[in-house]
């Protein structure tokens, strides 16, 4: 159309047009005419913050069926806020905070650059309890009456939780922090984790999290615990975690649920019913790692206890042998003394008796001495043999003797290698022998072959 440009210019010349500034100025004038004086507005505080200059900035919302249907920014200038805030707190016992339903006296203002906002002049303290806070309290009371608040807490976490189902968003910063904390731990613990993608804010968040929980429930035998994490947010963003349906499902879930939604202030209802509540995703990862660390410490402690008890048993047996030797020596001395007295008596009798009596008693004495000597030797031999067996068992457990028999210990990064699958090609390993060590670079690793060879040797 060659005349299209001319047609457009003619159209613009024949109609009233506004610049953007002129349009915004007209909107401002219209609002000033419509709302020349302050009006009272009922709204819910979704977010409240103050700045160093003393001004308070609010985000106001109105909801219908938990969905935000209206939203606007508001402010309380410092001069007004200095007198209004203390009075409100004195009358209600609470500070202005997210979740409160408030009745505000406001001037409607419109700025050509900053847009529409409300300038708060006064707050009615009698209208202090917000609908959001009321619903939250009602939800908590309902969960308490139904006996659900401590239900998930009654489940036991495994000694070493290694299979974790994670409900989060792959794009969330909190999820990235969680994974980095798990994978880069200095102890090199390995924890299997599987992400179940979910929306964690907005109107669809509750349904999305419930869907992920339903999927995990079907596979609950394959996991030790569930982790629900996100990177924090405003009170409005976190309101999805206060719903009854989500809290009840978490409370009844067959696996322990650990939360870390990055909220430093009030607990959400989901936090209250969860098995364990942590403030941040990083704290959740550290909690799981600390469980593995505690288990390793228990193993090392048990190992030390076993070695100490073995040494203690050797000391006790040596002490017992010493006491037995003393007892035998005492018994022998007493026996010889008694026999000597008896022999003296017999000798005296023999001197008075006949040669036959002398021979009979001499044979009897000889037999008694022989039996006594044999019994003592057998007793001492049995005790010495028992002690030798105990000594040999302890000596065999000594690592240096194990190495002396031709065995070796392989270390990777100062830790003993127990599983060949933990070593990859290119790793530098140190093999400790009875005399000296060998440093090697791994060129090939066949963990299955090693297992088969071990089975064939047995």
DSSP 8-state secondary structure symbol assigned to residue 15: S
Together in a domain, 111 and 74: yes
Residue after which a domain boundary falls, among 129, 147, 165 = 129
**Enclosing domain of residue 38:** 4-129
> Residue 348: its pLDDT value, please?
74
Together in a domain, 104 and 73: yes
Indicate whether 288 belongs to any domain: no
Indicate whether 287 belongs to any domain: no
Does this model's pTM top 0.85? My answer is no
Is residue 199 a contact partner of residue 205, using CB atoms and an 8 Å limit? yes
> Residue 141: its pLDDT value, please?
92
205: number of Cβ within 10 Å: 20
pLDDT beneath 70, residues of the chain:
1-14, 92-94, 128-133, 202-203, 232-237, 263-266, 349-351, 353-355, 357-358, 396-397, 447-458
Together in a domain, 343 and 383: yes
Together in a domain, 200 and 232: yes
Indicate whether 290 belongs to any domain: no
Residue after which a domain boundary falls, among 279, 313, 340 = 279
Indicate whether 118 belongs to any domain: yes
Angle 244-252/131-145 helices, nearest 10 degrees? Answer: 30
Together in a domain, 170 and 249: yes
Together in a domain, 150 and 229: yes
Compute the C-alpha angle 243/249/254, nearest 5°: 155
Together in a domain, 310 and 200: no
Together in a domain, 105 and 240: no
Together in a domain, 165 and 185: yes
Domain harbouring 69, CATH code: 2.40.50.140
> Residue 392: its pLDDT value, please?
75
Report the alpha-carbon distance of residue 11 to residue 22 in Å, rounded.
Answer: 20
> Residue 88: its pLDDT value, please?
84
> Residue 448: its pLDDT value, please?
57
> Residue 358: its pLDDT value, please?
65
> Which one, of 368, 361, 366, 369, lies nearest residue 345 by Cα?
361
> Residue 455: its pLDDT value, please?
45
Radius of gyration, CA atoms only, the chain: 43
Indicate whether 284 belongs to any domain: no
> Residue 454: its pLDDT value, please?
42
Together in a domain, 326 and 447: no
Indicate whether 190 belongs to any domain: yes
Which tens digits make up the pLDDT trace of 49-89? 988 888 999 999 998 888 899 999 999 999 999 988 888 88
Together in a domain, 93 and 34: yes
Together in a domain, 275 and 178: yes
> Residue 453: its pLDDT value, please?
42
Which tens digits make up the pLDDT trace of 358-373? 677 778 878 877 877 7
Residue 71's beta-bridge partner residues? 61
> Which one, of 259, 294, 262, lies nearest residue 153 by Cα?
259
Instruction: Please tell me the total count of domains within the chain.
Output: 4
Residue after which a domain boundary falls, among 351, 374, 397 = 397
Domain harbouring 228, CATH code: 3.40.50
Indicate whether 79 belongs to any domain: yes
The secondary structure element, H or E, covering residue 72 is strand 67-76
Report the alpha-carbon distance of residue 213 to residue 251 in Å, rounded.
Answer: 12
> Residue 456: its pLDDT value, please?
39
């Amino acid at each position: 159309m060659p005349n299209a440009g001319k047609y457009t210019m003619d159209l613009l010349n024949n109609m009233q047009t506004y610049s953007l500034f002129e349009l915004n100025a007209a909107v401002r004038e219209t609002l000033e005419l419509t709302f020349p004086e302050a009006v009272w507005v009922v709204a819910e505080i979704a977010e409240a913050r103050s700045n160093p200059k003393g001004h308070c900035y609010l985000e106001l919302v109105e909801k219908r069926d938990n969905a935000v249907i209206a939203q606007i920014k508001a402010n309380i200038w410092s001069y007004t806020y200095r007198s209004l805030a203390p009075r409100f707190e004195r009358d209600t016992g609470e500070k202005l905070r997210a979740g409160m339903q408030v009745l505000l006296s406001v001037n409607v203002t419109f700025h050509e650059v900053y847009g529409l906002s409300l300038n708060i002049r006064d707050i009615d303290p009698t209208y202090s309890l917000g609908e959001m806070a009321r619903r939250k309290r009602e939800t908590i009371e309902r969960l308490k009456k139904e006996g659900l608040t401590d239900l998930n807490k009654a489940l036991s976490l495994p000694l070493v939780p290694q299979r974790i189902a994670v409900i989060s968003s792959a794009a969330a910063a909190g999820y990235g922090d969680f994974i980095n904390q798990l994978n880069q731990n200095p102890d090199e613990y390995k924890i299997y984790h599987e992400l179940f993608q979910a929306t964690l804010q907005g109107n669809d968040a509750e349904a999305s999290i419930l869907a992920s929980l339903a999927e995990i429930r079907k596979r609950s035998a394959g996991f030790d615990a569930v982790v629900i994490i996100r990177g924090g947010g405003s009170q409005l963003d976190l309101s999805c975690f206060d719903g009854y349906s989500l809290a009840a499902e978490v409370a009844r879930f067959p696996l322990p649920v650990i939360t870390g939604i990055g909220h430093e202030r009030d607990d959400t209802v989901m936090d209250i019913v969860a098995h364990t509540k942590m403030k941040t995703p990083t704290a959740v990862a550290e909690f799981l790692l600390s469980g593995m660390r505690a288990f390793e410490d228990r193993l090392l402690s048990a190992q030390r206890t076993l070695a100490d008890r073995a040494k203690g048993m050797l000391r006790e047996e040596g002490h017992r042998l010493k006491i037995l030797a003393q007892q035998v020596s005492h018994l022998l001395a007493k026996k010889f003394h008694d026999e000597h007295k008896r022999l003296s008596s017999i000798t005296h009798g023999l001197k008075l008796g006949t040669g036959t009596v002398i021979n009979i008693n001499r044979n009897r004495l000889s037999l008694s001495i022989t039996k006594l000597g044999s019994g003592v030797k057998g007793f001492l031999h049995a005790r010495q043999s028992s002690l030798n067996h105990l000594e040999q068992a302890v000596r065999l457990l000594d690592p240096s003797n194990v190495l002396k028999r031709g065995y070796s210990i392989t270390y990777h990064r100062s830790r003993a290698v127990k599983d060949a699958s933990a070593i990859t090609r290119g790793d530098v390993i140190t093999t400790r022998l009875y005399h000296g060590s060998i440093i090697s670079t791994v060129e090939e690793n066949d963990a299955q072959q090693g297992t088969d060879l071990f089975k064939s040797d047995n």
